[in-house]
Structure 1
């Protein structure tokens, strides 16, 4: 399967959707942080952070207000249409800084599954590794608005982080699907889903998890077709699109996405919402594929 060139998204389409996705994610999460809805999430991460735990031992709310304001301002800078390109670029710079800081959480206690012996059995850290691609999307857009319609942005740091981030997320989380702990973790998502619940009628949840994990690992292999086969690469892209659209559908079907209902995100909601930016990263890869033709 090779996608016809006219059907491939242009860079501007990728830019508009990616800008929208970043704005939604950062404004939404920032609002949850400032209002205190995300307080339990901050407590868990800060108490296990190598640096912040000692600096803000009894002042976790201060960190929550600071980070929440940072998230909200970043999202608003790229969302408000009447601001200058410099203001928009500042928003992407702030998001890049935020992503680097968020990735530092990989060195905290809640990241690993102790029952499986810790590293590399990743638990809550599955949401953190998504910031690799989110960082890439921010960097790609910043380069796009400075030199639009360029050929060669596929060689930029943004493109590389998007590609690497998608590979890391799908490879690591896909491999975890072959564990009982991960299968049990996705069970409520699968059984409540209008897309996947039928599987539970024919297969055990562990075998459903095996199947999903296998597809995610196949997607990783197919994405590397970028370097040697457009046909294989496009298969990987299609699988990426299906994966992230499917996970975003859980925000509708899975009640655990919300705390006391919409729009109050739970930790699961935070995890799922970030896939909007990973979906944007996938669209960017398609747009770059069109540029190199």
Structure 2
């Protein structure tokens, strides 16, 4: 199969899993609390806080329908495109939270020290992924026909990866971020053994250096395809490792809802990296297509 075929299949499956899961969680107290907090902290929507429960359920229905259209093996590509358009709208709206909600860490001096907005940053790559997935031919889902929207999606996905890795990598040098990732490292069989040799802040800084170097390698998108592919490989490894925390970190699951499959706030944050992994595969597939043309 062409490289874009496999990448598109993985993208559709990943997005369907993420947003079916998120949509279902919006019918639980966890989802209602997350939506309620975002509405309460919104510069213009805080008056709607009493309706947060209804808003969470409405959003959950939207996400489930969107995920179903993207992931289901429907005979007409036009239905899939509707799902990707819905995802693009959702991602664009989510990104506005960076300007409307208190997403900065006051303990670290506020902007640019980002707190809850770290999860919001991921929606830039997801926005690009929505445009990329929706740019394929309506009736022939695996068509390699290049379109203007498909060409636009590539720098958006690239920018999303660079911003997430670079910004969150820089945050690893702060005490707040080091304390935040310490429980994940302590429960991970991949990283826990290192704690005997590397202090908490140094461990965080080391991870930050790797993320920043990965972001710098991704700059090769504009001038060095080999360097860019190295960056994509490092980014993919990073996202696989962060996704592994879903299996090793108990706090990824909401204990008062019985644990798995009920995602906690941390679980919501970690699961989005599945979409970032899909963006890596999409960009890698596109570089291969351009290479052999």
- Name the TM-score, length of structure 2 as normaliser: 0.93
Structure-2 residue corresponding to 1:120: 112
Runs of 4+ more than 3 Å apart: 151-155
Structure-1 residue corresponding to 2:172: 177
Question: Is the 8 Å Cα contact of residues 44 and 110 (structure 1) preserved in structure 2?
Answer: no
Match among 18, 23, 29 for residue 16 of structure 2: 23
Structure-1 residue corresponding to 2:51: 59
How many residue pairs end up in the alignment? Answer: 285
Moved more, 98-107 or 263-272: 98-107
| Larger RCO: 1 or 2 (CA < 8 Å, sep 6+) | 1
Q: CA deviation at 1:67?
A: 1.1
Moved more, 145-154 or 242-251: 145-154
Structure-2 residue corresponding to 1:71: 63
Structure-1 residue corresponding to 2:227: 232
Question: Is the 8 Å Cα contact of residues 23 and 79 (structure 1) preserved in structure 2?
Answer: yes
Structure-2 residue corresponding to 1:206: 201
Question: Is the 8 Å Cα contact of residues 132 and 150 (structure 2) preserved in structure 1?
Answer: no
Given the alignment of the two structures, is residue 246 of structure 1 paired with residue 234 of structure 2, yes or no?
Answer: no
**CA gap 1:202/1:230 in 2 versus in 1, 3 angstroms:** same
Q: CA deviation at 1:226?
A: 2.0
Question: Is the 8 Å Cα contact of residues 242 and 270 (structure 2) preserved in structure 1?
Answer: yes
Structure-1 residue corresponding to 2:82: 90
What secondary structure, in the 3-state scheme, does the structure 2 residue paired with 1:222 have? helix
Question: Is the 8 Å Cα contact of residues 23 and 76 (structure 1) preserved in structure 2?
Answer: yes
Distance between the aligned counterparts of 1:154 and 1:64, measured in 2? 31
Q: CA deviation at 1:152?
A: 7.1
**Which 5+ residue runs of structure 2 have no aligned equivalent?**
none
**Which 5+ residue runs of structure 1 have no aligned equivalent?**
1-5
RMSD: 1.7
Given the alignment of the two structures, is residue 10 of structure 1 paired with residue 3 of structure 2, yes or no?
Answer: yes
Structure-1 residue corresponding to 2:252: 257
**CA gap 1:284/1:94 in 2 versus in 1, 3 angstroms:** same
- Name the TM-score, length of structure 1 as normaliser: 0.93
